Structure 1
Amino acid sequence: MTIAALCFAAALIASPALTGCSSSSGGDDGYVTVNAGEPQNPLVPTNTNENMGGRVVDRLFAGLKYYDVDGKSFNELAQSIDSPDRKHYTITLKPDWTFTDGTPVTAKSFVDAWNYGALGTNGQLNNWVFSPIVGYTDVAADPPKAQTMSGLKVVDTRTFTVDLTQPSMDFELSLGFSPFYPMPEVAFKDMKAFGEHPVGNGPYELTSWDHNVEIKVKPNPGYHGGRPAKNKGLRFMMYQSFDTAYADLLAGNLDALDTVPTSALETYKKDLGDRAIDHPTAQNLHIGIQPNLAHFGGAEGVLRRKAVSMAINREQICANIFHGARLPALDFTASTLPGFRGDLPGAQWLKFNPDEAKKLWAQADAISPWSGSLQIAYNADGDHQAVIEAIANSVKNTLGIDTGGFPYPTFKNVRDEVTHRTINKAFRYGWQGDYPSMFEFLTSQYLSGSETNDIDYANPEVDRLINAALASATPDQAYGLLAQAQTLLLADMADIPVLEYSAAAARSDKVKAKVTWSGLFDFENIEKP
């Protein structure tokens, strides 16, 4: 959602969850079958920050804006978004929008949803998106000093105003991101129950959720926005592995697969012909390490993270495992995003350099001698074994320490321990754009206080530079400040960027389908004759 990050949405790179058997293609219902996994949490927009939940939430809800297959933004519910200074906004909604329970979508639907997402006691994972709004700090405090953000005001049924603490060149673009979706009054009566049976206003409505098996959605006849469903519905099928999903695709039992397994990357284009999809996307893979892991706090931790980074042979991994479907990371975002710079000061720490890695590791040992092993957690249902084993072997062979992968059964298992700070290992994680901006990658994961900051990174100067970039007068000025922020991230080696993605996806011969800028399918436009 994660990120959508640009996500849409969101979110963190998830992986299919649980079913061990292959699925049918939906019988006579005409639904399009797509790969998916069990969402980490109930389907509440402000608390969904991984893409297995995010890909469903984005179908069920509509926001002020939406993003097309190339990441271009358009107004969806917004009739107008006006601001004289990029700090004070007046937002007017289009008339006659309703939720699927028949209640109207109003300005209050947005204001109430945003205030709920920002309130610290609600523990919403996407709270950070509201941090630019006046009054956020009072609402997010523990305990809260206020229940609602003073920067949000309902003017009338279709109009509300938003006051930011400073000008933002990113705010309007971000308004298609899922935390900014409206929610109906019924949601606030029992949010957990609502998340199990969400009532949305998007191009689809929920038909059923069979946990760990499938989620079905059907077109919403009341939707009249810019992304109407061109199919009879979607079945999000949950797989135990991408290999099983790929076998189903080859057998005609799956219509769209967004991640071809590593075992098929060398041959899938030959196997599928024009049904193979190779498309640059805004996704990355990092190794995260929380500061409570022994030997990875303070100055010692900075040295060890840099040593581990320089012990990873990214080029070899990309060539031997992914056959060009991944690229070595050059920063903390993605090279497809506006403002990307591939020559940041400190990027040398992302290059394979065994001699320098050993020197840095020895310097860390001088602070506190290394003991134990370095385990890297990953979800076994996500086709990550090969890459994590390659990373671990590269580190082991370079630094001479015991290093290995540590598989968890499902993505949800890993995410729950990361979220609750009980993982006590290094862990594979990443971000998939929710909306096409470098800000979303950096703010979500590295801004102090963000609930999506899984590594508890905090650097006041990075915060200052990101906020200054948001307030910049021009994109070029903003990108320069973001480059400075990323230079500090590299100096701290906040986490360890490893790879970025070029989507290797596939479709069956039963559908027409495209992959979006973020690496997910353009679900509404999958056509099944």
Structure 2
Amino acid sequence: MRASRLGLRVAAVVGASALVLTGCASGGGDTGDSAGTAIVTTNGSEPQNPLIPTNTTETGGGKITDSIFAGLVSYDAEGAYELEVAKSIEPNETSDVWTITLEDGWEFTNGEPVTADSFVEAWKYGAKFSNAQSASYFFDMIEGFSYDEDTELTGLEVVSDTEFTVTLATPEADFPLRLGYTAYMPLPEVAFEDMEAFGENPVGNGPYMLADEEAWVHEERIDLVTNPDYDGVRKPANDGLSIIFYATQDAAYADLLAGNLDVLDAIPDSAYESYEEDLGDRAVNQPAAIFQGFNMPYYLEHWSGKEGELRRAAISMAIDRAQITDVIFQGTRTPATDFTSPVVDGWTNELEGAEVLDFNPEEAKKLWAEADAIAPYGDTEFNIAYNSDGGHQAWVDAVVNSIGNTLGIKAIGKPYPTFAAALDDRKNDALTGGTRAGWQADYPSLYNFLAPLYLAGAGSNYEDYASEEFDGLIKEGTLAPDVETATSLYQDAQEVLLKDLPAIPLWYSNVTGGSAETVDNVVFGWNSVPLYHQITKG
């Protein structure tokens, strides 16, 4: 999501979210320069890459880059966007040229001013093919983008220090909604002197900054302090964040109960039965824009062509999602009926072909036998890779047991010690079976659940799914004259996915978390991430 972000009821929630945010803003403002009295400790994971915004597409790095950078817009708790560095974002009559004006006075923490160049040069770097940035596809709607060669983003033009224009290849009426995602953050000039070194000690313009040059202790933690010059909409009400990279969620939960951790955004499955009683009104269990499934790589024997199509459907129908969500997750998950999330506008549970997600042992066996008639599976082991530091073992074991018992094959889980290690094998086509493939939305839209994961060549399409029909429907959706038409086309695209099953949808996740008695004003956002800047301590 990230590997674990349009219109999440944007119009409907503006009134309610404004009330919440007004209260929080005034509370933060009352504290003035002395806001907060302590560092807030929270859980995280080792980032996959150096902290370059256009190369950070997973949750571990995302939590950090979202905290140390400020973009044109940011998102409130409900997923509605509000202007941050941007003073205005205005379209022409056809919504294919956008004029962006910046607020005066923004600076990076090294004193460099944040200008139109800061955004344009960062976006050009992120989009350039040879720079191999994992979020490069977020610029594919801008004129001049190329997936396979170095080209110039001709759609970006600097007008002045505080104004630039963006010309899109096709109209996009909801363009501003995506601009709070990390890929669209600005970069200071110093970044381009040595981008890799910059990623180890990034200089941002957000509410927090690295405590010092040794703040990031790899595989252990990263320490952030408040940026004294930040004056945006996310003014911190605390002194900073210490994000601890726990090896297991059980260890993090134990620290929460002991008062050694302030905020936890992932309750381990071992505590699902007890955590609400343990934490009382400090427990959180609310819907979030998170999809969970697993992927089967097309490069593996038995998993491509007609044989692969049959086996994918058989595997899906061999999984008793209802039982697993009840027994393992204790009501904190909901069986999936599509590839997106119920908290995003446009979601439906009435897609044609969704019956492939129902538990149907007899049909599963029938389809598996049809695949065996093409090429016998024999004694080949079926496995699902997962990262041990993410608390996935219990559900993976339950899924492979359901598959193995239904189809009469050997099915096991394959643990990796860290998310980074598991993702490396995905990126290098080194998997020996399936792989856990969750997605935490970057911004609240159906498009964001579909395009980054399944468009041919997209940055998070690690298993190399390719469908001209799917790609065509997604592209047509981006050209739609209104949200309703776009939603219908994205739903049609999902029906293609239900036939091809590049991913096997499992369930939608709630954010399950909690806080210690050491902190107050803990609010979890639409994407499951706490609004760190609002938290008070001491």
TM-score range relative to shorter protein: over 0.9
In 2, Cα distance between the equivalents of 1:394 and 1:341?
A: 26
In 1, Cα distance between the equivalents of 2:434 and 2:189?
A: 41
* 1:467-482 matches, cutoff 5 A: 467-482=475-490
- 1:4 Cα deviation from its structure 2 partner: 8.5
Instruction: Please state if 1:158 is matched with 2:159.
Output: no
- 1:164 Cα deviation from its structure 2 partner: 0.8
Q: Where does residue 14 of structure 2 map in the other structure?
A: none
- 1:424 Cα deviation from its structure 2 partner: 2.8
Q: Where does residue 224 of structure 1 map in the other structure?
A: 231
* 1:200-239 matches, cutoff 5 A: 200-207=204-211, 208-239=215-246
In 1, Cα distance between the equivalents of 2:457 and 2:221?
A: 34
Q: For residue 209 of structure 2, what is the amino acid of its counterpart?
A: E
Q: Where does residue 133 of structure 1 map in the other structure?
A: 142
Give the TM-score, by structure 2 length. 0.92
**Aligned mate of 1:448, from 441, 450, 456:** 456
Q: Where does residue 270 of structure 1 map in the other structure?
A: 277
Q: Where does residue 425 of structure 1 map in the other structure?
A: 433
Q: Secondary structure at the match of 2:277?
A: helix
Q: Secondary structure at the match of 1:136?
A: coil
In 2, Cα distance between the equivalents of 1:425 and 1:5?
A: 29
**Aligned mate of 1:528, from 505, 518, 537:** 537
- 1:212 Cα deviation from its structure 2 partner: 1.1
Maintained 8 Å contact 1:6/1:433: no
* 1:248-259 matches, cutoff 5 A: 248-259=255-266
Q: Where does residue 493 of structure 2 map in the other structure?
A: 485
- 1:127 Cα deviation from its structure 2 partner: 0.9
In 2, Cα distance between the equivalents of 1:174 and 1:3?
A: 17
**Aligned mate of 1:66, from 59, 74, 77:** 74
| Unpaired stretches in structure 2, ≥5 consecutive residues | 9-35
- 1:473 Cα deviation from its structure 2 partner: 1.8
In 1, Cα distance between the equivalents of 2:194 and 2:305?
A: 42
In 2, Cα distance between the equivalents of 1:277 and 1:430?
A: 20
Q: For residue 108 of structure 2, what is the amino acid of its counterpart?
A: F
Maintained 8 Å contact 2:7/2:344: no
After TM superposition, what 4+ stretches of structure 1 lie above 2 angstroms from structure 2? 3-8
Instruction: Please state if 1:516 is matched with 2:520.
Output: no
RMSD between superposed Cα atoms in Å: 1.5
Q: Secondary structure at the match of 1:309?
A: helix
**Aligned mate of 1:197, from 180, 196, 201:** 201
Q: Where does residue 100 of structure 1 map in the other structure?
A: 109
Q: For residue 451 of structure 2, what is the amino acid of its counterpart?
A: T
Q: Deviations over 1:343-365 (max 9, x none)?
A: 10011001100011111111111
In 2, Cα distance between the equivalents of 1:475 and 1:32?
A: 40
Q: Secondary structure at the match of 1:222?
A: coil
In 2, Cα distance between the equivalents of 1:289 and 1:117?
A: 29
**Aligned mate of 1:284, from 277, 286, 291:** 291
| Unpaired stretches in structure 1, ≥5 consecutive residues | 9-27
Instruction: Please state if 1:40 is matched with 2:48.
Output: yes
- 1:141 Cα deviation from its structure 2 partner: 2.0
Maintained 8 Å contact 2:68/2:208: yes
Q: For residue 478 of structure 1, what is the amino acid of its counterpart?
A: A
Q: Deviations over 1:465-521 (max 9, x none)?
A: 112112212211111111100000101112101111011111001112111111111
Maintained 8 Å contact 1:151/1:164: yes
Instruction: Please state if 1:296 is matched with 2:303.
Output: yes
Q: Where does residue 2 of structure 1 map in the other structure?
A: 2
Q: Where does residue 444 of structure 2 map in the other structure?
A: 436
In 2, Cα distance between the equivalents of 1:46 and 1:97?
A: 21
How many positions carry a matched residue from both structures? 505
Q: Secondary structure at the match of 1:283?
A: strand
Maintained 8 Å contact 1:6/1:518: no
Instruction: Please state if 1:398 is matched with 2:402.
Output: no
Q: Secondary structure at the match of 1:34?
A: strand
Q: Identity of paired residues, percent?
A: 46
- 1:3 Cα deviation from its structure 2 partner: 4.8
In 1, Cα distance between the equivalents of 2:236 and 2:306?
A: 52
In 1, Cα distance between the equivalents of 2:194 and 2:369?
A: 54
Maintained 8 Å contact 1:231/1:524: yes
In 1, Cα distance between the equivalents of 2:109 and 2:4?
A: 24
Give the TM-score, by structure 1 length. 0.93
In 2, Cα distance between the equivalents of 1:86 and 1:157?
A: 23
Q: Deviations over 1:1-31 (max 9, x none)?
A: 41583899xxxxxxxxxxxxxxxxxxx9821
Q: Deviations over 1:426-455 (max 9, x none)?
A: 111210011111111111101111111122
In 2, Cα distance between the equivalents of 1:304 and 1:423?
A: 17
In 1, Cα distance between the equivalents of 2:206 and 2:7?
A: 16
Q: For residue 247 of structure 2, what is the amino acid of its counterpart?
A: Q
Maintained 8 Å contact 2:364/2:407: yes
Q: Where does residue 326 of structure 2 map in the other structure?
A: 319
- 1:297 Cα deviation from its structure 2 partner: 1.2
Q: Taking structure 1 as reference, are residues 229 and 209 closer, same or farther at Cα in structure 2, changes over 3 Å only?
A: same
Instruction: Please state if 1:340 is matched with 2:347.
Output: yes
